[in-house]
Amino acid sequence: MSTTVWSDLQAHHKTMVEVHLRELFKEDPNRFLNFSLTAKGILLDYSKQRITQQTLEKLCKLADSCYLSKYIEDLFTGKKVNFSEQRAVLHTALRDPSSTPLFIDGQDVKSEIHKVQDHMIEAIDAIRNGGWRGATGKQITDIISLGIGGSDLGPSMVCQALDEYKTTDIKLHFVSNVDGKTLASVLKKLDPKTTLCIVNSKTFTTPETLQNAKAIKMWFSLSLGEKEASGHLIGVTANPTEAEQFGILKQNIFEFWDFVGGRYSVWSAVGLPIALLLGGDHFKDFLAGANAMDEHFRFAPFLSNMPVLMALLGIWNINFWDCRTHAIIAYDDGLRQFPDYLQQLEMESNGKKAAKENGFVDHATAPIIWGGVGCNGQHAYMQLLHQGTQIVPVDFLIAAVGHSGFEEHHRLLMASCLSQSKALMEGNQPEMSGFDPLNDAKQCFGNRPSNTLVYSKLTPRILGSLIALYEHKVFVQGVIWGINSFDQWGVELGKKLVKEILPYLKDPTQTSSLDSSTKGLICYLNGKESIKIP
């Protein structure tokens, strides 16, 4: 990126390199007030970022120079912002309760969306109140939610995070990987007569999901008969034809659309397991939380726009401080799967270098997203963050009120979260008593940036807002980096090679055309390590 705004930020960075966060806090006793923001029940404290007001103003100039306001409007109004696939991107429309029409290629997508939502509510009510029974007339007690990537990560993460809000005794079982271990352990404990399986797949061509779906369909058929088995299958897909050909009854198929990316699909019928577990009201609250964040993102000025600020702070750390990874550390066991969810959202959206105007970008794009829960991280990887050779910006997440009722536990959890971000910011200052400046092993350098996100309590609405916050952060970064956040061509090669390699695992003797590593591995995996590799 060679714009003057970018060079100006590079020059500004040079003036900041020697400035320690300790000094910035000393200079401004109101630093927290000046560098924090609340929106939709979430507080963002970004005062521990290595910035001044001037930094923020320069970053906002960068956003303006990339026509961010225009792209935000394009996103919400259904322009084809997924330019490599010439598609609109409308996960925001999925959670917009208004019936204001939104025409895409002559079709009012809002009425389609609300039709599917009505079908979802009808189905979950029937399943939950015993109207929808199995082939033998028994009530449903268990639901298998089958899918991978965006067809699994959203429902699985949200159901775990909002377990306190479940309003049914029906049990959910998530199966994603094609390692049969999980599927076997799930099927072993279930009764086909009282189980339904939701097959979640946008394309309905993903090999892992189809392999699992075939095994589950067989499991039903062996117990209920081929014909009856189809009544125990539900399909969620943008490819209803394939789903019907697989044997799912038309009335049990819930459609979503090409304008919904897999990693942005939790708001669609992919969220069926969430609605089943929580009930329609809580699911609507979840959608409403995301819609509230949409309003904020669409209309708040950049300097008081939470997704925009988080995006710009990320760019400041990645592109000017050369930070290559970003940690999400939730001091909330309910968000245990949140880092995994954000890995797909961020790395599959912005892990690219193809530029909008052909060619390749010449700056860094998505960082490696990783993380976990605190306090556990303090006993695992926080050592590196405090004393390692690389700087890792952190998003800390903490609720003001826990779910457990263990007040002392929650106080210790909060104190631990705050202490970690404080220690990263200020280090152990040289004048600390007993500190031996010569003994560097004990030195924590500080000046390590973090955001702290505080929310009242992890409710369906707050979780909806949190997810939407990160979705819009990712979108803003993609606009500024000049890449397409909504395609994922990088995963296609692996899918193609699987089809080529699979036959060799049945017959390793025909591997001559493969590279020697793949050949050798195939032979070894086939227990033929003694074979002279052809």
Q: Could you tell me the smallest distance in angstroms from the CB atom of residue 238 to ligand F6P?
A: 8
Phi/psi zone of residue 11: left (φ > 0), alpha (ψ -120 to 50 degrees), beta? Answer: alpha
Concerning whether 85 is annotated as a catalytic residue, the answer is no
Residue in the shown chain whose Cβ atom is closest to ligand F6P: 262
263 vs 326, which CB is nearer to ligand F6P? 263
268 vs 451, which CB is nearer to ligand F6P? 268
Residues near ligand F6P (CB under 6 A) are 148-151, 201-203, 206, 209, 262-263, 348, 488, 491
Distance CA 449, CA 51 (A): 10
- Residue 356's φ and ψ, nearest 5 degrees, are -55, -45
Q: Could you tell me the smallest distance in angstroms from the CB atom of residue 357 to ligand F6P?
A: 24
The β-bridge partners of 144 are 173, 197
Concerning whether 40 is annotated as a catalytic residue, the answer is no
355, 365 in Cβ contact below 8 A? no
345 vs 373, which CB is nearer to ligand F6P? 345
Distance CA 466, CA 266 (A): 13
Half-sphere exposure of 173 (CA within 13 A, CB side): 19
Q: Could you tell me the smallest distance in angstroms from the CB atom of residue 118 to ligand F6P?
A: 23
How many angstroms separate the Cα of 349 from the Cα of each of 72, 346, 365? 16, 5, 10
Q: How is residue 220 written in tokens?
A: 């039903």
Q: Long-range contacts of range 86-93, CB-CB < 8 Å, 24 or more positions apart? A: 87/258, 87/259, 87/486, 88/259, 89/259, 89/261, 89/264, 89/486, 90/257, 90/259, 90/260, 91/260, 91/261, 91/264, 91/265, 91/267, 91/268, 91/471, 92/291, 92/294, 93/259
Half-sphere exposure of 163 (CA within 13 A, CB side): 14
- Residue 329's φ and ψ, nearest 5 degrees, are -120, 105
Concerning whether 91 is annotated as a catalytic residue, the answer is no
256 vs 320, which CB is nearer to ligand F6P? 256
261 vs 446, which CB is nearer to ligand F6P? 261
* Catalytic-role residue among 181, 188, 250, 379: 379
Q: Could you tell me the smallest distance in angstroms from the CB atom of residue 476 to ligand F6P?
A: 20
* Catalytic-role residue among 208, 255, 348, 471: 348
Q: Could you tell me the smallest distance in angstroms from the CB atom of residue 489 to ligand F6P?
A: 10
41 vs 147, which CB is nearer to ligand F6P? 147
Q: Could you tell me the smallest distance in angstroms from the CB atom of residue 281 to ligand F6P?
A: 27
Phi/psi zone of residue 330: left (φ > 0), alpha (ψ -120 to 50 degrees), beta? Answer: beta
* Catalytic-role residue among 495, 500, 528, 529: 495
Name the residues annotated as catalytic. Answer: 348, 379, 495
